[in-house]
Amino acid sequence: MTQDHAFIGRQPILNRQQQIIGYELLFRLNKEALTAEFSSDMQAGTNVLVNTISNMGTDWLVGSKLAFINVAESMLESNFLELLQPQRVVLEVLETTTATPELLARVKELRSQGFGIALDDFELSPQTAPFLEFANYIKLDVQALGMDRLPAISKALRKYPVLQIAEKVETKEEFRKCMDIGFDAFQGYYFAHPETLSAKVINPNYANILNLLNMLRNNAEIRDIENALKRDVALSFKLLRYINSVGFGLSCEIQSFRHAVTILGYQKLYRWLTLLLVTASTEAGSPPALLKTAVTRGRLVELLGSHLLDGQDRDNLFIVGIFSLLDVLLDMPMDRVLETLILPESIADALTERSGIYGPFLELAEACEDPDMSEVPRLCDQLQLTPDMLNRAHGQSLLWVEELGL
């Protein structure tokens, strides 16, 4: 069964002033799930990563706070972590992780990239001690260790330059004792149960992901990669949201898919697509007809403006057209959708109000989908389009989409 929503659990982590400093993000299979049920740590990890960077976005999930994400050995060894923004993410190394020389080197590398490192459910032993050299946080399970043992354990760990987090704090009395012991931060049911957040998902076409991976592997021309992205509204939307949510120190807006690919680079784009492939379904998550309409509209809007606009504006026209159905695909208002993207104001005006330089072209494309086409003559006149020019653009857009095999 295709899942059309993404789910993720979120539990706050608070400092001694009971201010939220971050959230632990937890894998959830559905809205009702209270715990993580998954076939492997890798599956849970990849689902959290996909939901964080593509389906939901870091900004929406954690705002300006830190995101604490569990990473098992398999996830530590993968290159998926490089898709995250290091300064905003703390990687929780699970207690089952073995401190091999290779994994210690990997944790050191991730720390040098700017990631925070937390040791989850930590108990000091010869096997776990080597990780302390690279850790920023230690999480101690209040229930598993017991309140009687905590003072001595906490004191023994103070010689290491790490912040101590008391987790699974369930009562006011436990919180008071942990404060007295000197813990730096706290997490548990006493403050908040994990809440499950959800977002509508549009799934990229499985074959398109494979095709793009092959193109990148063969070092295809950037123009060909851009054209491949144009075929898939889900992929193109996720790509722009990923760039915006993870953050690349952008001082300018994304102007086109070519611009997005240039900023991201082939290697990081390949990693991102691989991560999508791990969690993608072979079935389409949204109605194929709706996705086809979005792509057709993108091409039509681009062609309708070709006699008046060129270059960058034509790229923007395509984005206006293909993204104009995102509110329907994602089942949320367009202004909410646009909160996850950094797009030029001219594109946003067209998508929300059908105004600005691109708005009338989108209006005309939508009018062409209306059976009575009552607004078409007025809009054609406004845009200096003859009936022949309109018919030719409409026919070319339909042919283009058919040639794409959609």
320-347 in b/e form (b: 16+ CB < 10 A) is bbbbbbbbebbeeebeebbebbbbbebb
Of 142, 173, 199, the last residue of a domain is 199
Surface-to-core class of residue 318, CB atoms within 10 Å of its CB (0-12 exposed, 13-18 middle, 19+ buried): buried
Q: What is the mean pLDDT of the chain?
A: 79
Greater pLDDT, 83 or 338: 338
Residues 10 and 194: beta-carbon distance below 8 Å: yes
pLDDT in tens, 249-299: 545 566 677 888 888 888 888 777 766 655 454 344 555 677 778 878 988
Taking 60 as the threshold, does the pLDDT of residue 248 lie above it? no
Residues 154 and 270 placed together within one structural domain of the fold: no
* CATH code (residue 184): 3.20.20.450
Greater pLDDT, 1 or 383: 383
Of 147, 169, 199, the last residue of a domain is 199
pLDDT at 167: 94
Residues 214 and 188 placed together within one structural domain of the fold: no
Instruction: pLDDT band for 35, please (50, 70, 90 cuts).
Output: very low
pLDDT in tens, 134-150: 999 999 999 999 999 99
Highest mean pLDDT among 77-86, 135-144, 225-234: 135-144
* CATH code (residue 264): 1.10.3210.10
Residues 163 and 239 placed together within one structural domain of the fold: no
Q: Cβ neighbours of residue 109 under 8 Å, at least 6 residues apart?
A: none
Average pLDDT of the residues in 18-46:
59
Own/partner long-range contacts of 387-395 (Cβ < 8 Å, ≥24 apart): 389/307, 390/304, 390/364, 393/300, 393/303, 393/304, 393/306, 394/300, 394/368
Domain around 210: 206-404
Sign of the dihedral defined by the CA atoms of residues 351, 353, 358, 360, in that order: positive
Residues 260 and 238: beta-carbon distance below 8 Å: no
Residues 237 and 319 placed together within one structural domain of the fold: yes
Distance from C-alpha of 91 to C-alpha of 81, rounded to nearest angstrom: 9
Of 150, 184, 199, the last residue of a domain is 199
Residues 228 and 252 placed together within one structural domain of the fold: yes
Residues 249 and 166 placed together within one structural domain of the fold: no
Residues 120 and 90: beta-carbon distance below 8 Å: no
Residues 120 and 222 placed together within one structural domain of the fold: no
Instruction: pLDDT band for 104, please (50, 70, 90 cuts).
Output: very high
Greater pLDDT, 247 or 398: 398
Q: Cβ neighbours of residue 273 under 8 Å, at least 6 residues apart?
A: 209, 212, 213, 216
pLDDT in tens, 12-27: 889 998 888 888 877 5
Q: Cβ neighbours of residue 251 under 8 Å, at least 6 residues apart?
A: none
Residues 324 and 176 placed together within one structural domain of the fold: no
Q: How many CB atoms lie within 10 A of CB 67?
A: 22
Residues 183 and 213 placed together within one structural domain of the fold: no
Residues 166 and 296 placed together within one structural domain of the fold: no
Angle, alpha carbons 95-101-104 (nearest 5°): 50
Residues 224 and 96 placed together within one structural domain of the fold: no
Number of domains in the chain: 2
Residues 241 and 371 placed together within one structural domain of the fold: yes
Taking 90 as the threshold, does the pLDDT of residue 110 lie above it? yes
Gyration radius of the chain over CA positions: 25
